[in-house]
Amino acid sequence: MHPAPSLIAFTVASGLGFGLLFWLGIDATPPSGWVGLAFYLIAYALALAGLGASTRHLGRPERALKAFTQWRSSWLSREAWAAVAALSVNAFHAAGLVFFDLHLPALGWLGAALALGTVFATSMIYAQLRTVPRWHHWSTPVLFLLYAVTGGALLSGRVEAALVLLTVTGAAQGAVFLHGDRRLARAGTTLSTATGLPGPRAFAPPHTGPNYLTREMAFSVARRHAEKLRLIALALGALLPALLLLLPFHHSLGLVALLSHVAGGITARWLFFAEAEHVMSLYYGKSQRT
Amino acid sequence: MTSLPKLTERRLGLVIDLDTCVGCHACVVACKGWNTQSHGVPLSDQDPYGADPSGTFLNRIHTYEVTPADGPAQVVHFPKSCLHCEDAPCVTVCPTGASFKRAADGIVLVNETDCIGCGLCAWACPYGARELDADEGVMKKCTLCVDRIDNPTLPEEDRIPACVRTCPAGARHFGDLSDPNSAISALVEERGGFDLMPEQGTRPVNKYLPPRPRDTWTEEVDVLAPFLEPVAEDARGFLGWLDRTLSKL
């Protein structure tokens, strides 16, 4: 699939923002006053920047509000509702903390649940697609949620939690990289099932140049680079930040750990799109990975 | 609206004969022509006469080669457009309700004024039947020419999809696949019509007819063939001299 910068920015930034909102919501002694305001501003800036980036992916962004109508059937619509609900509930919780020094734990927990629900709905937009076997798996929402809570833990300065989560996220991402390579073959869709012909070979494409389908869905990344990028994603996303957090804590080290994790997360999300094989590309003679 | 109808009264669709399609792309041109000047926004082209032309089409013809175990390779032309699936994944993923399946005849359509151009329906379709128009930013797909088949101002013989009307080989057939007595259902029955990607669970309405087995020649190839045998194996005269001389060099 085409790794659109708007979608990478959307999923990474909103994941971080909602991840931070989750930790602020469940905090027994959350920051209040000016410190609280700073934390909530960062969380809202990230979440809103992510959601804003997602509208750049639309062909008709001026009609984006119509996306709220089909929550009964569409995960994209549910994601829009979850985002609005999470941002609204957490705004009340934040206003209490920042302006009135008032902590309402129940409201915080509700906001945290809605924040995670939003990340879950985002991940289901991809996980629901049977046409992309690499995404159509329970590990997709698990990994999206792990990245969100890990990034949130780093943003909110929770060293112990971040260390555990970096290890778990790194291990899960590594496993998904390897397992993902086998999912297209496992799905059983081949050029033969696509055409009903015995052992076909793509002889001539329908058109001589690229089109929407080949640009959007037949994107393929050179395997050589994919493996290097996977190692970079794991090293920057999990290994380096974990090592930095093991050193005696200093805020500058924490910041470097956060930036490294985000860089690794962006690399992993780029691969999430770039490596995903759409079954439609079989019609164009794209070979399967085994 | 983006939920699928439980039952459609009819299942209008196409049956495409892979045996008779000659790969002339006339259906592609007829489709582009009709759908650019009627229902919905035009099917735009980008840089059509330049170095990197690209455009929106609702029907495309792939070509494949198959090599039977006991015969020479065959070329199979493979027209592909929307299959108007009964369990259309493109409909349920739509966040705005723009994508829908008609309960009356099962045709899958896009309400272009509600489409936000998110592209998720195109991702959900395993067949590559939907294309986002680069000029209009809305999703385009085969309408089964609803503006022909439902149009009482057209002569009876024109009330079929443009691709079917134009096909010079008779490789495309249109009809109601829910009616077991329709000509199109009989054709599917007789020729062993099949679904594309059945494992994707989309239950396509459109069916494909497999290429028939080719004739095999075990006997004499042609009664005239013996007359085409080379008459002079060993050249004599001037040509013979030339042959011998050139061989010695």
Average pLDDT over residues B171-180: 95
Torsion of CA B35, B141, A60, B45, to 10 degrees: -50
What residues of chain B lie within 8 A of the CB of A59, using their CB? 115-119, 132-133, 136-139
* Pairwise CA distance, residues B158 & B145, whole Å: 11
Written as six digits, the tokens of B141 are: 């797909």
What residues of chain A lie within 8 A of the CB of B56, using their CB? 211-212
Is A211 within 8 Å of B126 when comparing Cβ atoms? no
For B96, the closest of A66, A199, A201 (CB atoms) is: A66
* Of B81, B26, B58, B82, the residue nearest B133 (C-alpha): B58
Chain B interface, mutation test: which of A273, A280, A284, A288, most B Cβ atoms within 10 Å? A280
Rg of chain B over Cα atoms, rounded to whole angstroms, equals 25
Longest dimension (CA), chain B: 87
Written as six digits, the tokens of B158 are: 């024109």
Q: Does B95 touch chain A (CB under 8 A)?
A: yes
For A58, the closest of B63, B117, B201 (CB atoms) is: B117
Residue whose entry in the numeric block shows the structure tokens 């409909």: B91
Residues B97, B98, B99, B101: is their CA dihedral positive or negative? Answer: positive
Residue B99 bridge partners (DSSP): B110
Share of chain B above pLDDT 90, in %: 76
Closest-approach residue (CA) in chain A for B137: A59
Per-residue pLDDT reduced to its tens digit, B124-163: 999 999 999 999 999 999 999 999 999 999 999 999 999 9
Predicted pLDDT at A290: 33
B117 in Cβ contact with A67 (< 8 Å): no
Instruction: Give the domains, in start order, of chain A with CATH numbers.
Output: 5-188+215-284 (1.20.1630.10)
Chain A interface, mutation test: which of B93, B114, B131, B133, most A Cβ atoms within 10 Å? B93
Contacts of A252 (CB under 8 A, 6+ apart): none
Predicted pLDDT at A289: 43
- B9 or B232, greater pLDDT: B9
- Tell me phi and psi for residue A227, to 5 degrees: -70, -40
What residues of chain A lie within 8 A of the CB of B212, using their CB? none
3-class state of residue B138 by DSSP: coil
- Taking all residues of chain B, what is their mean pLDDT, rounded to a whole number? 91
pLDDT tens by residue, chain A, 290 residues: 988 999 999 999 999 999 999 999 999 889 988 999 999 999 999 999 999 999 888 999 999 999 999 999 999 999 999 999 999 999 999 999 999 989 999 999 999 999 999 999 999 999 999 999 999 999 999 999 999 999 999 999 999 999 999 999 999 999 999 999 999 999 999 999 999 999 999 999 999 888 999 988 877 666 678 889 999 999 999 999 999 999 888 888 999 999 999 999 999 999 999 999 999 999 998 864 43
* Pairwise CA distance, residues B247 & B249, whole Å: 6
Is B62 within 8 Å of A63 when comparing Cβ atoms? no
pLDDT band at B228 (very low <50, low <70, confident <90, very high): confident
For B64, the closest of A64, A197, A213 (CB atoms) is: A197
* Pairwise CA distance, residues B57 & B55, whole Å: 6
Is A193 within 8 Å of B197 when comparing Cβ atoms? yes
* Of A284, A104, A127, the residue nearest A212 (C-alpha): A284
Predicted pLDDT at A32: 87
- Tell me the CATH number of domain B12-209, given options 3.30.428.10, 3.30.70.270, 3.30.70.20, 3.40.50.720: 3.30.70.20
Judge whether residue B218 has pLDDT over 90: no
Rg of chain A over Cα atoms, rounded to whole angstroms, equals 21
Q: Does B137 touch chain A (CB under 8 A)?
A: yes
Q: Where are the domains of chain B?
A: 12-209
A149 in Cβ contact with A168 (< 8 Å): no
Q: Write down the ipTM of this complex.
A: 0.91
- Number of CB pairs, chain A paired with chain B, less than 8 A apart: 192
Q: Does A100 touch chain B (CB under 8 A)?
A: no
First to last CA, chain A: 18
* Pairwise CA distance, residues B24 & B80, whole Å: 14
* Pairwise CA distance, residues A113 & A22, whole Å: 7
Closest-approach residue (CA) in chain A for B1: A70
* Pairwise CA distance, residues A159 & A255, whole Å: 12
B140: alpha, beta or left, given left = phi > 0 and alpha = psi -120 to 50? beta
- Tell me phi and psi for residue B79, to 5 degrees: -70, 140
Residues A86, A89, A92, A98: is their CA dihedral positive or negative? Answer: negative
3-class state of residue A86 by DSSP: helix
pLDDT band at B59 (very low <50, low <70, confident <90, very high): very high
Is B95 within 8 Å of A205 when comparing Cβ atoms? no
* Pairwise CA distance, residues A62 & A72, whole Å: 23
pLDDT band at B216 (very low <50, low <70, confident <90, very high): confident
Predicted pLDDT at B198: 96
How far is residue B158 from each of residues B99, B148, B220, measured CA to CA in Å? Answer: 27, 7, 46
Is B95 within 8 Å of A201 when comparing Cβ atoms? no
Closest-approach residue (CA) in chain B for A70: B95
Strands (E), chain B: 12-17, 45-46, 54-55, 59-66, 74-81, 99-101, 108-110, 131-132, 139-140, 172-176, 207-209
Q: What single-letter DSSP state applies at residue A278?
A: P
Judge whether residue B92 has pLDDT over 80: yes
